[in-house]
Every structure is written in structure tokens, then in C-alpha cells.
Amino acid sequence: MNSTCQISLINQPILADWQREKLVQIHEGKVYIYLPVSDKFPLQNIQKAARSIEKMGVDTATLVGELWSEDTQWAFALGFTCAEKLTSVEFTGEKSCVDSLNNKLAVFGWARDLTNQTPTQLPPESLAKSAIDYITAQAPDKVTAKVIAGEALEKEGWVGIYNVGKGSIHPPCLLELDFNPSKAEKTPVSTCLVGKGITFDSGGYSIKSNAGMFNMKADMGGAAVVAGALALAIRQGLNQRVKLILCCAENMISSHAYKLSDILTYKNGVTCEVANTDAEGRIVLADGLLLAAESEPAMIIDAATLTGASVMATGGDYSALFSLDQKLADQAKLTAKAVNEPLWQLPLEIWHQEKCPSEFADTANSRPIPGGGPGGASNAAGFLSRFVPNEGKGWLHFDLSAAYNGNSNRLWAAGATGLGIATIANLLTSEPSK
């Protein structure tokens, strides 16, 4: 197979023999994806075909022909791209369509590559710098950023990020990036994006198994998704003020690491007993949500590879959505459907705040049983809800159970998927539901 290959989409088989019903058909050196008009899962089958074509040794796929739409081309790109070729697709069609697809491919490629980097390549401060550099490049005169790192976190009261990251030789940090197209200091903040940026998660003293730790370079996937979403929204013409907050730390074991039964006191006065050092994502996100609330935004969106429970619930095919604001949750689900990103809402009520009780503090960060016990994903969201304003109105929590695959499968190459970026980007640029 040539390193560059033209791919056509057809709805009538190009072959008349036993191969006529095959999804991928090769005839006279040309490659075709056969998608009958009656196909019930067209985007999924195109993504599956793209994985097969990439495995043939094709380095760059050039899409040709009149049957390709924007949605089908994007499905192909998601299936074809992989760690070594994250932007190796050439699109076809009207210039506006090609430009839109190229913008998405570039941002997804950046975010996926960031997530695929090793923990040694990407310590916490490097993650923050990467986000600053990439987003600033999208709008150089409209972005400012502040990073608080190391001991300064404790001095300024960001106890969650500080404690989770203090056991590592790589200092933890909190990034607050401000995209302000008006450049006016008093411009209201439309949205705050908060991302979990755990660049490696050993589990701390609640140490993970070897198998459970192997893919933990991707535990900063939430940070990559929200940073990518902001970059994509800027490329799509975002004209609202948005702040990006990344909670960056490496969760390691050392003589200085935080311990089970430690009690943290957050800026809002909530006390938290550490019942599981491996439930660190919610500990750092609490700081990010408190910082977000200071800007009094209309909407707060956080994203995190937060719980194994969400993977168990969704099979890793969907991201999980939680909210106490059902109107906003409905808008998020419609937005996800419009951009073909699988999203499933799981239960969250205000009483989920009480699902991780402590005898010594207002709450624990989990329950000291495997996986946090029944309803673990909802309980984690309940913990986070203690740190958002307005009783949760305007808040969305994405538990990114489909953010990363340790092994390739029929739809995805191994590595980060970028799922969630398009949904959140569209939420930033769309009008709120009435």
C-alpha cells in the first residue's frame, strides 16, 4: 500500500464477487469504503473502516469524491489517526468545511499528543506551560496567564493541589489562564473551564497495582480536553471571556507525601478527611472549582478522568455527565449529539454530598473500600458539588471515561481520543438554552 492513499466513499459496491459486501474494498489499486444507504451506524462503520485502512500501512489518507460530508470525514479522521500520525488526513469539499475539519484535527492532534506524552516528558509545570503556549498562539494579544507553584500553593490556601503534589520532586501548580477578547478588565467571565491535570498517578499510599498504574500518564486527560476545547472555540470565533483553570500535580509516594487520615481545610471552610490517596482528582478539582467561583461566571465546566466507576457504567464508550442543573445538562447532551460525541448522564442529587462520610471532618474524599463502593462516580460528583456556587446552577461535570484507550480496538488507535473537546467547545460558542 502506498504511503499516501486516496479514499472514496461509495454506497454501491465496487466489486461484484464475494467481496461485494465488505466494508473496505480495494480495486485496481484504489481504496473504497462501502456504506449502503440503509446502514444504521454509518459514522461508526466509517471509523471502523478507517482503522482497517490505517493498519494497511497508509501514512496519509486523502479523502476524495462527492459523498463525503463533514460528519463522515470527521468519523474517518478519528478512526485513522493514531499516535504517530495525528493529523495525517486531507479533507475534501467546500472551503468552509475543510477549514472547520482542519481546525478540529489540529486541536485534537495537539490535545491527544499532550495526553500521550510520558510522565517524565510532562511534569506538572510543563503541562501548564504547554497549555499557555498553545492557547496564546491562537490569540496572542487576548490571553494572560498566572501560575502558582510549589510552596506558594499552600501559602495561598490551595490545599488540595498542594497536598496531592507535595510528595513529588516535580512541584504541583495551579494555572489560571484568561482569554479576554475585549481586553477590558471588567468584562464578565462567561465560563470557567476546570481540568484535572494529574500528570502521573501512582495512587499515593493507596498505591495502584502495576496494571492499574500503567496508563496513568493519561490522568491529565481532563486538562488536555478543556485546554483543547478553549483552543478550538477560539478558532471557531469565540467572543466571550473564558478562564481556563488547570489543577496540575503528580501523585507520588515519598516521606513528604500526603497520607490517609490527613484532614484538609479548603478555602470555603469545608474540611476533608483523606480516606483514599488514589481519589486525588476530586481533591485537586475542589481547588479549581473554588477559584472558578471567584470569577462569578455564568457557567463552570470541569473535566476529569475521575473514576473507574464511570468506566464500569459506560463501558468506556461514553463520557459521563453530571449536573445539578438539568436544563444545562440537557443542553450539553444535545450539543454532544450534534457533534457526535457519546455522552451519558448519570445520577447526581445534592444528597450525594453525604455519601462519603467522615467521623472527623465535614466529608471524606471517598470511602475506604475498593472503587469507593456503589455509586462511586456519583459520589465523586457529589463531593465536587460542595465546591461550586449557586447550589450547582450553571455547573457541568464531565467524567471522561472515554478519554483514553490503553490498547487499540475496532474504532480507536491506542492512546488519547480527544472526546469531549468538540462538545465543550460548542458549549462555549453557543447561546445558553432558555
Which residues are identified as catalytic?
208, 282
CA distance linking residue 35 with residue 389, whole number of Å = 48
CA distance linking residue 302 with residue 296, whole number of Å = 15
Termini Cα distance of the chain: 53
25 and 52 Cβ atoms separated by less than 8 Å: no
CB-based burial of residue 184 (10 Å sphere; 0-12 exposed, 13-18 middle, 19+ buried)?
exposed
Q: Residue 117's CB: how many other CB atoms inside 10 A?
A: 18
DSSP H stretches of helix in 269-390:
280-294, 308-314, 326-338, 376-385
The one-character DSSP state at 203 is -
User: What percent of the residues of the chain are helix, what percent strand, and what percent coil, each to the nearest 5?
Assistant: 40, 20, 40
422 and 339 Cβ atoms separated by less than 8 Å: yes
CA distance linking residue 253 with residue 248, whole number of Å = 16
* Nearest to 50, CA basis, from 27, 26, 28, 81: 81
Single-letter amino acid, residue 173: C
423 and 134 Cβ atoms separated by less than 8 Å: no
CA distance linking residue 282 with residue 161, whole number of Å = 10
CA distance linking residue 414 with residue 188, whole number of Å = 40
CA distance linking residue 236 with residue 243, whole number of Å = 17
- The backbone torsions φ and ψ at residue 376, rounded to the nearest 5 degrees and listed phi first, read -60, -40
CA distance linking residue 414 with residue 272, whole number of Å = 36
CA distance linking residue 306 with residue 309, whole number of Å = 9
254 and 262 Cβ atoms separated by less than 8 Å: no
Beta strands in 318-400 (DSSP E): 319-322, 343-345, 363-364, 395-399
Residues composing the chain: 434
- 3-class DSSP state for residue 114? helix
CA distance linking residue 179 with residue 231, whole number of Å = 10
